[in-house]
Each structure stands twice: as structure tokens, then as C-alpha cells.
Amino acid sequence: MIEIEKIASNLVKTPDGFWTARNISAVSYPVEGNALCYEVEETSFWFRHRNTSILQVVRAFPPAGAVVDIGGGNGFVSAALLKAGFDVVLVEPGEGVYNARQRGLPVIIHSTLQDVGFHPETLPAAGLFDVLEHIENDLDFLQALAPLMKPEGRLYLTVPAFSWLWSVVDEDSGHYRRYSLPSLELLLEQAGFAVVYATYFFRSMLLPILMLRALPSRLGLRKNQPIEKLRGELTRSSRWMNTLLAALLSLELPALGRRCHRWGASCLLVAQRR
């Protein structure tokens, strides 16, 4: 396990067991976002499938040490990685750190990446799971991350796909953009990473997002709404609907980590520092 006090310069240990930065910068994420996600993560077909997909790819391209889960929210992905036998450090600037503690994560840093003060070439691996789209200057962020990672340290990344799927839901969620694999691979290369594996996933969600979010938003039929309204879309309270969506999504799992899907509502990449 990483010894945090030896690799970071701007952290203090709090009485409740967290490491916290002396100053925490603002982020583009709804204040209530962590609380909403915490309510639905365990039962949501979306969160569960994302975890399964990430774990499958991480097993296919394993890290050489702890995965630093940057912007890891309530620790849902971190907890799954930990349960699968990987060392994890959660870095989260919001209130999700308290939910992550409830999930039993042993090392939690309450901070943004830039405020931690990580020393150069100290991070064995990093995860950015639906984080990069919340960062206004994504290239600057990745260029700042690369020197902190050990040579050939692996980066695991998920982001929403395709600008033509943009909707008011992206706006409400604090997104700056959606990505394609070519644009994301170019971005990573410019930042000092070499892409090892890249695929689309959430293939079964592409048409529903287009028909229920993107097109209505363009036609002015879907307006901005509080993020709590998305709860139903994430959980699908109907058991048969949840089961159907999970079954459809599971069809893409056998190929993940071995082959690349050419379309889907999200991107999943593995890169390593050059």
C-alpha cells in the first residue's frame, strides 16, 4: 500500500481518518451529485455494468501497484477494485468521501488532484472514471497528471461518447464535452500517454440516449432539470426493465479487454505514461 505521507506534500491527517488538502479547489460537478449517486449505485444497472466492465479491463491490463481513483465520488468503483484484490487510493474533493468511508475504503484523500501535491513519478496507476468530461481544460489536466505517474504507469479512463449524444442531461451534470475514441486517443498522446486498449461500451444505451435525451434536447422538448430527476433513468424502478437492460449490456462483456467495440454510449481506455 502507498504511504501517502511520503508521496504528497499538501495533505494533513484529520481526526476522522481522512487525508485532506490544505485547500480544495472548486470542481464542475453538481453539489448534490454524490448524494444522488450514493442512493442508486448499488441497484442501478448503469453503475453496476460500468463496474463490471472496468474490472474486466483492469484484470486484462493489470496495474503495477495501487490505483489512485481520481474524482472517485462515493468510492463505488474503488470498492469494487479493492474487493477484486487491487490496492486503491481514493481522491475525491466532495462529500462523497464520507460515503466512501462507509464502504470500507482504507485510504481516502479529500482533495482535487492538483491540491494533493503528489510528488513526480510516484503514482503506479490512476483511474479517471467519468471525470475528464467535468474538466474544462482536459489537456492541461492530463499533462499535469502524466509527470506524477511512474514511467509506464497505467491510466484507466471512462468518458461519455459522441458529441451527437449531447443533451441537457450533460449540461445538468456539469459536463464540458463528450468524446470519440479518435479524439480521446489524440488527447492522451498529446498529454504524454500511449494508448494500450480502447473501446466503446454501453452499446445498448446508445439508441435510448439518442431518442430519449439527445433528440428531445435539440428539439426543445427536454428542458434543464434538477439532477434528482435523473434518479429514475439510472435505476429504472421496474424490475423487469432493470433485468432486461442488464442482460442486453452483458452481451458486450465477453469481448472487453480482448477486442474493441466500434460504437457505444461511453468510451473505455487503458493508456500508460510514455
**pLDDT-derived band of residue 83, with 50, 70 and 90 as boundaries?**
very high
Query: Among 81, 73, 96, 29, which Cα is nearest to 51's?
Result: 81
- How far apart are alpha carbons 249 and 46 in whole angstroms? 9
- What pLDDT sits at residue 244? 86
- What pLDDT sits at residue 234? 60
Determine the CATH number of domain 4-273. Answer: 3.40.50.150
Residue ranges per domain, the chain?
4-273
Query: Among 178, 191, 71, 204, which Cα is nearest to 142's?
Result: 191
Check if the beta carbon of residue 180 is closer than 8 Å to that of residue 206.
Answer: no
- Give 171-226 pLDDT, tens digit per residue: 988 999 999 999 999 999 999 999 999 999 999 999 999 999 999 999 988 877 65
- Give 111-157 pLDDT, tens digit per residue: 999 999 999 999 999 999 999 999 999 999 999 999 999 999 999 99
Chain mean pLDDT for the chain: 93
Residue 146 backbone phi and psi in degrees, to 5: -55, -45
Q: Does pTM top 0.85 for this prediction?
A: yes
pLDDT exceeding 70 applies to what percent of the chain? 95
Angle, alpha carbons 85-34-84 (nearest 5°)? 10
- What pLDDT sits at residue 106? 95
**pLDDT-derived band of residue 233, with 50, 70 and 90 as boundaries?**
low
pLDDT at 227 over 70: no
- What pLDDT sits at residue 138? 98
